[in-house]
């Protein structure tokens, strides 16, 4: 009987513990991104999905679509400036990357340059890449130069 009581107590205790909800994480990310922008004297646009972006160079008039293969240079950091990735002259389909990239790169043309501030739900959410410094529900910053598509 004592074991059952302990089990029920542990079950009740654990049921009251819960991880941050996706909506709570999104709201936290928005606050973090807005603080980052304010701290760095930056002005960004925000899309309906929650993606923040700064077009540094619009590039050509033609823009890639959601499945277009693009060639880019990029650097990715956490909002604290810790770099987790960078590549030059790399190609992939916009349907093969995180949602924030798919949405953001459609805003610029060839030779364009964009800063993307991406809430976790448009990036890796609760499933960051194994072995990465990206944590669960981390907002991300990318600078991306669109070389070609």
Q: What is the pTM of this model?
A: 0.86
The pLDDT of residue 53: 98
Shortest CA distance to 149 belongs to which of 74, 91, 73, 88?
Answer: 91
The pLDDT of residue 10: 40
The pLDDT of residue 15: 37
End-to-end Cα distance, the chain? 68
For the chain, 149 residues long, the average pLDDT of each consecutive 10-residue run is 39 47 96 98 98 98 98 98 98 98 98 98 97 97 98
What would the 3-class secondary structure string for 80-148 be?
A: CCCEEEEEEEEEEEHHHCCHHHHHHHHHCCCCEEEEEEECHHHCCCCCCCCCCCCCCCCCEEEEEEEEE
The pLDDT of residue 20: 85
Read off the tokens for 104: 């953001």
The pLDDT of residue 82: 98
The pLDDT of residue 19: 73
- Which domains, ranges and CATH numbers included, belong to the chain? 20-148 (3.10.50.40)
The pLDDT of residue 118: 98
Contact criterion met (CB below 8 Å) for 75 and 141:
no
Query: Cα separation of 32 and 67, whole Å?
Result: 30
Query: Cα separation of 129 and 136, whole Å?
Result: 9
């Amino acid at each position: 009987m004592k074991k059952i009581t302990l089990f029920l107590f542990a079950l009740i205790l654990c049921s009251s513990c819960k991880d941050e909800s996706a909506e709570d994480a999104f709201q936290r990310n928005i606050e973090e991104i807005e603080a980052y922008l304010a701290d760095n004297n930056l002005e960004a646009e925000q899309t309906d999905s929650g993606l923040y972006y700064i077009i540094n160079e619009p590039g050509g008039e033609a823009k890639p679509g959601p499945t277009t293969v693009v060639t880019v240079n990029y650097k990715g950091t956490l909002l604290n400036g810790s770099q987790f990735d960078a590549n030059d002259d790399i190609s992939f389909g916009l349907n093969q990357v995180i949602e924030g990239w798919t949405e953001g790169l459609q805003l610029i043309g060839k030779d364009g340059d964009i800063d993307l501030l991406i809430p976790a739900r448009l990036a890796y959410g609760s499933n960051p890449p194994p072995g990465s410094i990206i944590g669960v529900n981390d907002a991300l910053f990318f600078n991306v130069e669109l070389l070609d598509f």
